[in-house]
């Protein structure tokens, strides 16, 4: 197994290039995925499609190849990745955004995960995680609002950063071709302790 090298852009933002292989990427992209239009809410636009990998064999492959591998680099005694078999596809800006679009050049405007008005579950998020399945498009950079850091994702790249306000970020609009990404979150030990006490952990494990 190859050694995965973290590249730090600052103390808490890091990435790993070629985190998954081209073969693994092609395997996932060749799946017959049920793409559907995602909701449109604050900070979002109707250019997002999502697909949940529900097929038993495809789901097992995705968990073993993608999510278990991510757990190896983000899990520790204080936090753990949550299972989420969902891919997101951002369509090119010219496919949905006309001259009156108010997106200001962003597919995702400034946001962070555990903000004061977030839902109960999200307040326990510690890290945001993004894994990219293609890079044959223009735009799509992650831009950090309070830091001089901008990341142009590459195919197979894993990017990890904190979920706090200091790390508010946006994603520039995609141009030319769609952008496909696996985005998920790491939760604190306190979150998993609550699930344990409520009995939800056993139900959750049945979905993994």
Q: Is the pLDDT of residue 177 over 70?
A: yes
State the average pLDDT over residues 133-144. Answer: 96
The larger pLDDT score, comparing residue 102 to residue 117, is at 117
Mean pLDDT, residues 124-147 = 96
CB < 8 Å & 24+ apart, contacts of 93-100: 93/47, 93/139, 93/173, 93/174, 93/175, 94/175, 95/47, 96/45, 96/46, 96/47, 97/45, 97/47, 97/173
Task: Share the mean pLDDT of the chain.
Answer: 87
Mean pLDDT of 120-137: 94
**Rounded average pLDDT over 116-145:** 93
| pLDDT value of residue 99 | 43
- pLDDT above 50 (res 100): no
Residue-wise pLDDT for 30-60, tens only, equals 999 999 987 554 444 567 899 999 899 999 9
Residue 88 vs residue 117, higher pLDDT:
88
Longest dimension (CA), the chain: 52
Give residue for tokens 């990427």: 25
Per-residue DSSP letter, 139: E
* Predicted local confidence at residue 206, as pLDDT: 44
pLDDT in tens, 70-79: 999 999 999 9
Q: What integer pLDDT is reported at residue 24 of this predicted model?
A: 97
- With beta carbons less than 8 A apart as the criterion, state whether 148 and 10 touch: no
- Tell whether the model's pLDDT for residue 82 goes beyond 60: yes
Q: Is 48 helix (H, G, I), strand (E, B) or coil?
A: strand
Would the pTM of this model clear 0.85, i.e. be above it? yes
């Amino acid at each position: 197994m190859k050694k995965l090298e973290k590249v730090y852009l600052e103390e808490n933002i890091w990435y790993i290039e070629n985190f998954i292989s081209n073969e693994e990427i092609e395997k996932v992209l060749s799946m017959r995925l049920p793409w559907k239009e995602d909701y449109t809410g604050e900070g979002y636009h109707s250019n997002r499609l999502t697909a949940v990998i529900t097929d038993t064999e495809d789901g097992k492959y995705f968990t073993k190849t993608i999510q278990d591998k991510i757990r190896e680099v983000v899990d520790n005694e204080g936090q753990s990745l949550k299972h989420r078999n969902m891919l997101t596809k951002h369509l090119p800006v010219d496919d949905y955004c006309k001259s009156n679009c108010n997106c200001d050049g962003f597919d995702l405007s400034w946001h962070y995960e555990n903000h004061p008005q977030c839902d109960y579950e999200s307040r326990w998020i510690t890290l945001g995680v993004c894994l990219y399945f293609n890079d044959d498009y223009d735009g799509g950079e992650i831009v950090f609002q309070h830091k001089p850091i901008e990341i142009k994702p590459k195919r197979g790249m894993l990017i990890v950063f904190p979920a706090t306000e200091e790390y508010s970020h946006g994603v520039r609009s995609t141009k030319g071709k769609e952008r496909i990404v696996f985005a998920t979150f790491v939760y604190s030990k306190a979150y998993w302790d609550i699930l344990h006490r409520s009995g939800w952990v056993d139900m959750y494990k049945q979905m993994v």
